[in-house]
Amino acid sequence: MDNAQLLKGILEGCILSIISGGETYGYHILSILEKHGFTDIGEGTLYPVLTRLENKGYIICRIGKSPFGPRRKYYSITDIGLKSLKEFIISYEKIIKISESIIKETLGGMNHELF
Amino acid sequence: MNYFESSEYKDAKCQLRDEYKICYDKIETYIQLASIYGLHKEACLIQILDDFLSAQAEGKELSKVTGPDYRKYCDTMIQAERSRNRSKYEVMAYIAVIPLTVMLLSLFTSILRNDDKLSSITNQIIIGGFSIAFPVIYLIYYLIRQKTAKVLFNHVRASKAVITIVSVIFYGLIYLISAVLDRALNIAIPVPFPAFLIIIALSLVLLTVLVIIEKKDNKQLRIVPESEETAIEQVICPACGNEYDMDYPKCPYCKN
């Protein structure tokens, strides 16, 4: 099964969730994703998601200073973004519940022979 | 002032070491030379530079940030940045710019050909092969630049040299090549002068409207100071005394 398709929507929700915690920047988001197990995600995956979220109006971007001296892009969530995050959490929990229930019921009677 | 000429940018670039420095030089050359339409170079490069400096401060391997293929990473970043700035009215801008360019080139060549017969210009403008060949050659030059920058991504010096040569040839010979094509194509489409004026006026009005709309919908990034509400708490490094964001695992200045 294509993990990338499965990950696409979930990653957007996770990134939105990280940004909802307060203004942050690309590398910090990447570090949090990595800390929680998304180790294969590089900046080349993250940045398109950030621009997509920005184009949808879920986050806004400003340029500020970084401790290293040059400019840095900081992202923060908008009201529409917060609304979308709430909707994502509801949908996500519902999907997880349904998927778990199906997997439990179907695999339960197969003595886990798939594994 | 161009941000890339500022001491802030140059100082930050100087902090890059080893593989980070080599890779950033390649990316910077690629983005600067390829002259990609609609790309806000500064916005794209500051994101990459900041990521590289942050990753380097943590001692992370470069490939963890970029993946194994640097050019692919670079193209993804460019694509994402372009999508952020892409105008909804791009097609309309082409509709305005192309006839305007062709008409102005036709006027230019008509003046050159009829310098003593102003009345014939005010009667009609001739769209010749030159007016069509010039934009086509410009487009070819633009594509050659992009292709060269892509192919020579890993060879910074060669890329700069080839693109400089191509640019010198292009700017030196474009008029000559267009003139040769003008004769070879032997095109002469007459446009009555009032129609010419209407096309120019409509193109200019459309362009002005688009510029006004774009300004209203402006997504260009500006430097905005951090608000106290969203500011990341600062800590003082006990070793070097510099202040840095508390979410850094190490001090970005002295690495303690």
Does residue A76 fall inside a structural domain?
A: yes
Does residue A84 fall inside a structural domain?
A: yes
B213 and A CB contact within 8 Å: no
pLDDT score recorded for residue B250: 67
| Confidence bin at A82 (pLDDT 50/70/90) | very high
| Of residues A101, A96, A87, the one with CA closest to residue A13 | A87
Spatial CB neighbours of B19, under 8 Å, sequence gap ≥ 6 = B62
What the block records as the tokens of A51 is 């621009």
Q: Is B46's CB within 8 Å of A73's CB?
A: yes
Q: Which residue has the tokens 């990459």?
A: B48
Output the domain CATH number for residue A71: 1.10.10.10
How many domains in chain A?
1
Does residue A80 fall inside a structural domain?
A: yes
Does residue A10 fall inside a structural domain?
A: yes
DSSP 8-state secondary structure symbol assigned to residue A41: -
**Local structure of A75: helix, strand or coil:** strand
Does residue A19 fall inside a structural domain?
A: yes
What the block records as the tokens of B50 is 């900041």
Spatial CB neighbours of B93, under 8 Å, sequence gap ≥ 6 = B87, B207, B210
B54 and A CB contact within 8 Å: yes
Residues in B 71-130 with any Cβ partner in A closer than 8 A: 72-73, 76-77, 79-81, 83-84
Q: Taking 80 as the threshold, does the pLDDT of residue B254 lie above it?
A: no
Burial B47-62 (b: 16+ CB within 10 A, else e): bbbbbbbbbbbeebeb
A65: phi then psi, degrees, rounded to nearest 5: -90, 150
Interface of A with B (CB under 8 A): 22-28, 30-31, 42-45, 47-48, 50-52, 54-55, 61-74, 76
Burial B144-166 (b: 16+ CB within 10 A, else e): bbbebbeebbeebeebbebbeee
Higher pLDDT, B91 or B152: B152
Q: Report chain B's mean pLDDT, rounded to a whole number.
A: 80
Rounded to the nearest angstrom, the minimum Cα separation between B15 and chain A is: 8
Q: Taking 80 as the threshold, does the pLDDT of residue B29 lie above it?
A: yes
Spatial CB neighbours of A41, under 8 Å, sequence gap ≥ 6 = A11, A30, A33, A34
Domains of chain B: 3-86 (1.10.1900.10), 90-216 (no CATH), 224-256 (no CATH)
pLDDT score recorded for residue A108: 67
Express each pLDDT in B178-220 by its tens digit.
777 777 777 788 888 888 889 999 999 988 888 888 777 666 6
Burial B95-121 (b: 16+ CB within 10 A, else e): bbeeebebbebbbebbeeeeeeeeeeb
Does residue A96 fall inside a structural domain?
A: yes
Does residue A71 fall inside a structural domain?
A: yes
| Confidence bin at A64 (pLDDT 50/70/90) | confident
CA A32 – CA B131 distance, rounded (Å) = 55
Mean of the pLDDT values across residues B101-122?
73
Range of the domain at A35: 3-108
Q: Dump the DSSP string for B151-165.
A: HTTT-HHHHHHHHHH
State how far the alpha carbon of B101 is from the alpha carbons of A102, B97, B167, B186, in Å.
Answer: 63, 6, 21, 19
B47 and A CB contact within 8 Å: yes
